[in-house]
Chains A and B, each alone.
Chain A
Amino acid sequence: MKYFRQLLCALLFAFLALPAASMAHEKGNGLDLQSVLWGHIKDSYEWHVTNIGDTPVIIDLPVIVKTSTGWYTGWGSDFEEESLATGAHKGYRPCKKSSSLFIATVGNYERRIVEILPDGKEVRPFDLSITKTVCVLFIDAIILLLCILLPARWCKRHRIDDPAPKGFTGLMHMFIMYVYDDVIKPTLGKESDKYAPYLLTCFFFIFIANIMGIMPFPPGGGNLTGNIACTFFLAVCTFLVTNFTGTKHYWKDIFWPDVPTWLKVPVPLMPVIEIFGIFTKPFALMVRLFANMMAGHAIALALTCIIFIMATMGAVLASTMTAVSVGMSVFMMLLEVLVSFIQALVFTMLSAVFISLAHVHEPSEA
């Protein structure tokens, strides 16, 4: 610990030197930090696992899009490198089988399939492709089903006075009951059984997706909970559950809260704030989960990329930074495991809180 401060200082200086170094080398050598980062964080039509030598190992994924002329199905590998684009289609990766479909590499629809209409307009077709994230979603869903249905099957096959389950079943029982007893029950009380399946599904879905996202190789490695569509959907679910099961008193508190009348009569100040609040709560859920998981992925990748950026800067610096980077990566990895759990727990807990807030009853004391 004596040298900890010196070490930290050296580390910080090294980080200060980083941007300049990366800038200097981005042009020269092959590594493009931005493209690596975004390539991982964003969705893609192929699952790029690794490179062996110069050959990329890629899991090919199906592409399903509805273009202006009808449905198109194919594979992600049908799209060629940008360098093969001709003429007006610079900045797009052309499709081998369709003359109007491209993957944009710049602009609003970067890395997405776009259709270029005959008049030259770029539009986004309705895209149902099994992208990397969708594929990860399927894998996570299957793992989630296995993780829950196997322990559930144990319950069906055993009587109440059988010895307690061991191993995985016992772990999952404990885990489920931890969330149920410590998160759902204290918040929702006697209504917890009604909402427990939804909240537990949310928890385990997010937790498994987070953990699988940390894993650096298939079947993990996708960035599902760090994708806004996923968190958006989960937040919408909580929003719907909250507002559709809300009691009369909940709605009364929104439109006619117990505040001085001048706050609500000529100008409905409080109702507007309350209505705004209905939307900000799930919005916060969405952004929190998304930002946490995306930042985790970005940091993990950035720390790994340091090694490759430094590799060209001389043996001493490279080896020092490699050691530092590996250390930091291990630390971040462990932190991410913790964050995975905490974010799943926070999402579930806040959903439970929002649901319980929508179940207020007329206070008994007048």
Chain B
Amino acid sequence: MSLLLPDSGLLFWMTLVFLVVFLILWKYGFPSIIKMVNDRKAYIDESLRKAGEASEKLANIEKEGEALLRTAREKQATILREASETRNAIVEKAQAQAHEESARILADAKVEIESEKQAAIREIRTQVADLSVQIAEKILRQKLSSEDMQKNLIDRLLDEVTSAKQSDRK
């Protein structure tokens, strides 16, 4: 029976020790541990959430970067294409202009040459006429140096004129 009856001495010490231990642990032990662990849990959860957000953001940024790169490439390609088109156009235009210019210059030159030729011909003609007059003069002078010759000529000329008149009448 004594097994089932609480002993006063042990009860006294038990009360004392348990209350002291309980008060110490209440003040310094459990609340601080529970608070710390719960705070840490919240902190870790928060960190995980933030990490998730960050990786999501990173993925977005990567996607954006890729998109940016792609548009940049496209733009580059169009710019290059446009540039080559422009270049071709410019070259073609320049060629055409050059053709035109050369043709114009050629035509001008031809005209010039023609006019020069005409002028030269005219000059040659006048010179030929002058020369022929002078030659004729000289020849006449030589031929008409004597009286007989002059009379002879006049006669011939007269004959010629009359014969010409006669033939006109006819």
Binding site for B on A (CB under 8 A): 41-43, 108-112, 126-131, 133-134, 137-138, 141, 144-145, 148-149, 151-152, 155-156, 158, 160-161, 164, 172-173, 176-177, 180, 193, 196-198, 200-201, 205, 227-230, 232-234, 237, 294
Contact = CB atoms under 8 A, between A and B. Distances in A.
A180 B34 contact: yes
A230 B10 contact: yes
Given A197-B31, A201-B26, A43 B7 contact: yes
B29 interface: yes
B28 to A, nearest CB: 6
Given A148-B29, A152-B28, A155-B36, A229 B11 contact: yes
B13 A42 contact: no
Given A134-B10, A137-B14, A161-B43, A228 B3 contact: yes
A230 B29 contact: no
Given A227-B10, A237-B18, A200 B30 contact: yes
Contact of B21 (A145, A230, A234): A145
B14 A197 contact: no
A205 B21 contact: yes
Contact of B30 (A134, A137, A196): A196
A158 B40 CA distance: 11
Nearest to B42: A160
A164 B40 contact: yes
Question: Is the contact region of chain A dominated by helix, strand, or loop, or is it mixed?
Answer: helix
18 contacts: A41-B3, A111-B2, A127-B9, A129-B9, A131-B9, A145-B21, A148-B25, A148-B29, A149-B24, A155-B32, A155-B33, A177-B37, A180-B34, A193-B31, A197-B26, A200-B25, A205-B18, A229-B11
B33 A151 contact: yes
A134 B9 contact: yes
B22 A127 contact: no
Of B2, B4, B9, B18, most A-chain CB atoms within 10 Å:
B9
A152 B9 contact: no
A131 B10 contact: yes
B30 A148 contact: yes
Interface centre among B1, B4, B40 (most CB of A within 10 A): B40
Contacts of A133: 10
A138 B30 contact: no
A160 B36 CA distance: 7
A337 to B, nearest CB: 23
B21 A201 contact: yes
Interface in B106-157: none
Nearest to A227: B10
Interface in B31-86: 31-37, 39-40, 43
B113 to A, nearest CB: 98
B24 A145 contact: yes
Given A109-B2, A131-B10, A233 B34 contact: no
B4 A228 contact: yes
A141 B10 CA distance: 14
Given A108-B2, A173-B33, A201-B26, A233 B9 contact: no
A178 to B, nearest CB: 11
Given A126-B8, A160-B40, A205-B18, A137 B32 contact: no
Contact of A197 (B4, B13, B29): B29
A232 B11 contact: yes
B17 interface: yes
A294 B17 CA distance: 22
Contact of B2 (A112, A148, A177): A112
A134 B11 CA distance: 9
A154 to B, nearest CB: 8
A129 B11 CA distance: 11
Nearest to A151: B33
A112 B7 contact: yes
Given A193-B34, A229-B7, A149 B17 contact: no
Nearest to A180: B34
A164 B40 CA distance: 9
Nearest to A156: B32
A158 B10 CA distance: 39
A127 B8 contact: yes
Nearest to A174: B37
